Structure 1
Amino acid sequence: MTSSVKLQEAFPVGMVVTNGKPVLGARAGSLGVVYEHYSIGSGHFGVGILFVNGGYDGFSEDCTDICEINPVRFEASVSDYEFNGVDDLMERYRKGYFDKAFKPLTTNGQ
């Protein structure tokens, strides 16, 4: 299995994640959500992650390891998001499109 396939399976669009280390202004333990899969050339694959603070970037498999990005749960309500550029991503973020993904888990699972 290639790295791109493993990365996409572990982090599908809509996967809510946490970061073990501070990244993009988000303190360790912040929630983020995968908003895209991408490739650059034939050897660089990654996932785009938007954090609750509005910080976003692409993460390769190595970057997900270094930043300790871990899957938490899948949020179906954002799984059909199609990345159409940063302006669209930020507009949807401001309008609350990703809010459900950023809700913390409670002890009773709701």
Structure 2
Amino acid sequence: MWKVGDMYFVLPGHDGWPVETLRLESLRFAGQAFELLALAQEKLAPTQMQQLKRTVAEQILRSSDLEEFGRCGDRAREDLYSLDPLDYQRAKTIILETLAAAAVKGNAT
């Protein structure tokens, strides 16, 4: 059922204390990115938000045809989206920089 690894977010460490898994780190990162996008939706003008969405999508997605994601059986995942964690970090940085620039611009007026 689970194609990659297992379903655990923490595992027991050698000393008995819990150790966070990469899966948990990825989930945390995704939650933070979601919250940043929600904040951007609230703070940015609609045209700025559309541009931000395009820029972030270009950083992560390898296909602009969303129907291809439904046919994942005949497509390699790296043909659909980036497998490089740095691309996701860059996307998060783009969101943060856009929000910071909007805040500076808002304070200047």
Larger radius of gyration: 2
Give the TM-score normalised by the residue count of structure 1. 0.26
The structure with the greater share of residues assigned to strand is: 1
Give the TM-score normalised by the residue count of structure 2. 0.27
Greater RCO, 1 or 2 (C-alpha within 8 Å, sep 6+): 1
